[in-house]
Amino acid sequence: MQAQRLLMMAVAATLAGAAPAVAQTIYPIDRAEILEGSHFDFKVEFPDAPASADVNVTVNGKPAAEIFGRQTTFMQNEEGQKHSAMWLRGASLPAGRYVVEATQGSNKSTVAWEVFSTPARRAKNVILFVGDGFSIAHRTAARIMSKGLKEGRYGGELAIDDMPNMALISTSGSDSVVTDSANAAHAYTTGHKSCVNALGVYCAKNALTLDHPKVETISEVIRRRNKMAIGVVTNAEIEDATPASMVAHTRRRSDYNDIVKMFLDVKPDVIMGGGSPNFLPKATNGSKRTDDLDAIAKFKEAGYSVATSKTEMNAAVSGGAKKLLGLYNTGNIDGAFDLRLAKKGTISKFPDQPDVVEQTKAALEMLKGNEDGFFLMVESARIDKYSHSLDWERAVFDTIMLDNAVKAAKDFAGERNDTLIIVVADHAHPVSLIGSYNDDRPGQLLRDKLGVYQDSVVPNYGPRDADGYPTDVNTSHRLAVVFGTYPDTCDTGRPYMDGERVPAVAGAEKNTYVANEKDCTAPMAVRKQGNLPFESNSGVHAADDVVLTAMGPGAEKFRGHKPNTYVFRVMAEALALGGK
Ligand SMILES: [Zn+2]
């Protein structure tokens, strides 16, 4: 037996030795679409650490240096690793098709790039709304909750639906089918496909997270090319993936200290969200910095007003501020469900936080006077976060909040016809609306209360307030919304009025999670055996396509199915960002 195993291992080793060497890797990767004149780091990695004399790189059949107009550098055993690297940081190219070939002995790798130019400028302003994790069921539930449903027809249209153009967007990254918010937002702000956790970089072999091959973000392109104002608004921490994608270059989205520095490098005119501790020098109480950088002082020196509450934000706006750093929470800003209804989360600690709608209106007020227009990104971030915690009512309230923010932007854009508005998710969650719970149905179990098909009665939520949010959701007839992925958990079938749902808690075994027993004792709670790996404590993203809606100059480009990188391209074209 032992002899046979040794023989098997020897055979396996021989096969491994006979396998072709790992291919050279070229960045940007194959089929990259690159904005003409935009800056990117060109890198080729050669396995087995060859010398420069043993490799050859051509672009359209000519030496790379000739095409780029600059010398490349070569590092044998880069960083002491078992590969060599050819680099050209900050390259750029005129429009055209480029074929890059990297040869090493008998191995050759080839990639093709399309460098695209942009036609004359058509939009003065672009407003990009990102509903993080915003999926079809969130949309439908938000429409039922905020517009009402009677005899199969809605009482009105959502602002996000009432737009002339629509497309399906696919969100997969270069490394995986299901992506995360860093890589997904990066596709919108750079036009490149990258990998999970990456912002503004390709994922090469570099050891340090900031050393990977960079691609320019739309904010940097704007800063280099024109005098547009830039705004970044979120209700997540401002260092979180989606807002960070406007400025950041790191392989690791959790590099919050560095991301604050990158905000300082680019200096978007309006920066609003949560996440204040990474702006404070380490000596300050509550700081999460590891250095002495006082980022708030730096922004003040650069002419920014600083706001830590809604009152201060509004005062800055009415005082005529054009540059604002608004940090309204140490963590994420509370979502609409807690701000309006449950008053849980961190409301008692931060009683004066603006919501996404108020932030959007304030940002528009500050940006709209800029003669060369503005680029504003607004994120409703907690649709995603509440979907991770399987707390769909909170996710849907934040979808209604997104809709109200879009309505504010549409009111601004009005008949101007100079503002491109795009509403899109960065990725989906596996969430679906399957019927309604009706407490009047007979039976003792939650599943007895579930009405499907003809028994899926319209919910009897409390009357809607002026902003379209129901004033009561803990009613006898409620929507039944389910998630396709979950850890071991207990579903109460009711909204979580005492604070965001905690689906699972740490188990006895390290890095494993078990159902949150607090929920399991609720009346009718149903225990669900998880379908995720044991180390998951929340739901995960889905690869399902997401819906994009758009209006304004350039919006007509959105139809059918497009990759997420296409969103960058349409924005770059509308603003004529191509060229030297
Ligand atoms: Zn997420």
Per the CB < 8 A criterion, the answer to whether 103 and 55 are in contact is yes
pLDDT digits (tens, 9 = 90+) for 358-394: 999 999 999 999 999 999 999 999 999 999 999 999 9
Statement to judge: residues 227 and 161 lie in one domain: yes
Give me the pLDDT at residue 22, please: 74
Q: What residue type is assigned to position 458 of the chain? A: V
Q: Cα(388) to centroid of ligand 1, in Å?
A: 6
Q: Cα(384) to centroid of ligand 1, in Å?
A: 5
Give me the pLDDT at residue 574, please: 98
Task: Decide which of 61, 85, 116 is a domain's last residue.
Answer: 116
Q: Is residue 420 part of a domain?
A: yes
Dist. CA 439–CA 247, nearest whole Å? 49
Q: Is residue 498 part of a domain?
A: yes
Quick check: 1 pLDDT over 50?
no
> Per the structure, how many domains does the chain have?
4
Q: Is residue 338 part of a domain?
A: no
Per the CB < 8 A criterion, the answer to whether 141 and 55 are in contact is no
Q: What is the mean pLDDT of residues 66-78?
A: 97
Q: Cα(181) to centroid of ligand 1, in Å?
A: 6
Q: What does the DSSP 8-state code read for residue 213?
A: P
Residue 419 belongs to domain spanning: 126-303+328-333+371-428+545-574
Q: Cα(533) to centroid of ligand 1, in Å?
A: 17
Residue 100's domain is classified under what CATH number? 2.60.40.10
Q: What angle do CA 134, 387, 472 make, to 5 degrees?
A: 95
Statement to judge: residues 406 and 442 lie in one domain: no
Q: Cα(528) to centroid of ligand 1, in Å?
A: 22
Statement to judge: residues 170 and 286 lie in one domain: yes
Q: Cα(94) to centroid of ligand 1, in Å?
A: 36
Q: Cα(540) to centroid of ligand 1, in Å?
A: 7
Q: How confident is the model at residue 83 (pLDDT cuts 50, 70, 90)?
A: very high
Give me the pLDDT at residue 8, please: 53
Q: Cα(330) to centroid of ligand 1, in Å?
A: 19
Statement to judge: residues 243 and 167 lie in one domain: yes
Residue 140's domain is classified under what CATH number? 3.40.720.10
Using alpha carbons, select from 329, 342, 386, 396 the residue that is nearest to residue 502. 386
Q: Cα(237) to centroid of ligand 1, in Å?
A: 13
Give me the pLDDT at residue 512, please: 97
Per the CB < 8 A criterion, the answer to whether 123 and 419 are in contact is yes
Q: Cα(178) to centroid of ligand 1, in Å?
A: 11
Give me the pLDDT at residue 20, please: 46
Statement to judge: residues 530 and 561 lie in one domain: no
Q: What is the mean pLDDT of residues 49-70?
A: 97
Task: Decide which of 116, 145, 178 is a domain's last residue.
Answer: 116
Q: Cα(375) to centroid of ligand 1, in Å?
A: 24
Q: Cα(564) to centroid of ligand 1, in Å?
A: 17
Q: What angle do CA 307, 311, 314 make, to 5 degrees?
A: 80
Q: Cα(182) to centroid of ligand 1, in Å?
A: 9
Q: Cα(517) to centroid of ligand 1, in Å?
A: 24
Q: Is residue 343 part of a domain?
A: no
Q: Cα(206) to centroid of ligand 1, in Å?
A: 26
Q: Cα(485) to centroid of ligand 1, in Å?
A: 13
Statement to judge: residues 158 and 209 lie in one domain: yes
Give me the pLDDT at residue 23, please: 87
Q: Cα(173) to centroid of ligand 1, in Å?
A: 14
Quick check: 10 pLDDT over 60?
no
Statement to judge: residues 236 and 286 lie in one domain: yes
Q: Is residue 510 part of a domain?
A: yes
pLDDT > 70: what percent of the chain?
96
User: Which pair of tokens denotes residue 427?
Assistant: 């990725």
Q: Cα(536) to centroid of ligand 1, in Å?
A: 13
Helix H or strand E encompassing 153: strand 153-154
Share the mean pLDDT of the chain.
96
Sign of the alpha-carbon torsion through 424, 428, 429, 432: positive
Quick check: 260 pLDDT over 50?
yes
Task: Decide which of 97, 116, 135 is a domain's last residue.
Answer: 116
Q: Cα(479) to centroid of ligand 1, in Å?
A: 23
Q: What residue type is assigned to position 105 of the chain? A: G
Q: Is residue 296 part of a domain?
A: yes
Q: Cα(549) to centroid of ligand 1, in Å?
A: 21
Statement to judge: residues 176 and 283 lie in one domain: yes
Q: Cα(268) to centroid of ligand 1, in Å?
A: 24
Quick check: 7 pLDDT over 90?
no
pLDDT > 90: what percent of the chain?
95
Q: Cα(484) to centroid of ligand 1, in Å?
A: 14
Dist. CA 219–CA 571, nearest whole Å? 12
Q: Cα(431) to centroid of ligand 1, in Å?
A: 13
Q: Lowest mean pLDDT of 7-16, 199-208, 299-308, 519-528, name the range.
A: 7-16
Q: Cα(538) to centroid of ligand 1, in Å?
A: 10
Statement to judge: residues 396 and 409 lie in one domain: yes
Q: Cα(556) to centroid of ligand 1, in Å?
A: 29
Q: Is residue 107 part of a domain?
A: yes
Q: Cα(234) to centroid of ligand 1, in Å?
A: 14
pLDDT digits (tens, 9 = 90+) for 396-454: 999 999 999 999 999 999 889 999 999 999 999 999 999 999 999 999 999 999 999 99
Q: Cα(120) to centroid of ligand 1, in Å?
A: 37
- Residue 382, classed as helix, strand or coil, is helix
Statement to judge: residues 189 and 292 lie in one domain: yes
Q: What is the mean pLDDT of residues 124-128?
A: 98
Q: Is residue 341 part of a domain?
A: no
User: Which pair of tokens denotes residue 539?
Assistant: 């739901």
Q: Cα(385) to centroid of ligand 1, in Å?
A: 6
Statement to judge: residues 158 and 297 lie in one domain: yes
Protein residues with C-beta less than 5 angstroms from the ion ligand 1: 384
Give me the pLDDT at residue 523, please: 92
Statement to judge: residues 299 and 392 lie in one domain: yes
Q: What is the mean pLDDT of residues 455-468?
A: 98
